[in-house]
Amino acid sequence: MLRPLVQAFAAAWLVTACGGSHAPAPASPTAPDSTSSPADSASSAPAADAAPAPAPSAGLPTACANPSASTCTPPSDFVDRLCTKPHQEIALALFGKTPFTRLYLKGKMDELSFQEEVLALRFHGQAKGGMQVGSGNGSYDVLRWDGSCSMAVDADILGTSAPSGRPKSARVLWHRIGDKMQTALITGNDAIHKAHAKRGKECQGAMSGDVSAACQKADNALVDAIIDYVRGGGTLPTPDGP
């Protein structure tokens, strides 16, 4: 009788031991940590109100807005952007290898000098039945060599024939030219290279104000060398559009 009782006890113990070996049920998923930063999840999904990437520059125009017109001008929307402020680098690029019409002052008007060279940007004809402005033959918006625009210049004071000798120009401002274009000018033309070195020696870093006569002369020589190079079709890096 003792042996069957021992066997029954052993069997009961074995069942209990085997039942305790089962793995516990997996714990339910925990909620995200409420202290995590919103930036932690931003990398996995774009923000709904993220600002769009800026549009690439449209560059500079290279063709006449109206090929059938007697004067070659850039597109009007480009002129609107260009004339919001002076753009020295863009002026150098446009006075270079572009088809846009060069005009010359046949007289003095406001800040414009007699025989100054400018670039035609846009023509304004006289509106029929409207109030006559100036001569009544229309006017031009023009670009000067310093990158500034002059608006509504009377057409009668402008001509397409260059004056004999060297045309005048608004002063090119070296300090408004970026490093990339400055380097291209200095390394691309020996006259500019020498004029720049001379200016550095005479002006000692001065850009404007009370400078010596030697500095002023050296600065004039640098400006002349740049204009000669650009007029001659010298190669320049293309600046960003306005």
Q: Which residue positions in the chain have pLDDT lower than 50?
A: 1-57
Integer CA distances (angstroms), 212 to 136, 173, 192, 225, 231, in order: 46, 18, 21, 20, 29
CB 130 within 8 A of CB 186: no
Give the per-residue pLDDT at 135.
61
pTM of the model: 0.73
CA pair distance 191, 187, nearest whole angstrom = 10
pLDDT tens across 199-233, in order?
999 998 776 667 899 999 999 999 999 999 999 99
Quick one: 119 exposed, middle or buried, by C-beta within 10 A (0-12, 13-18, 19+)?
buried
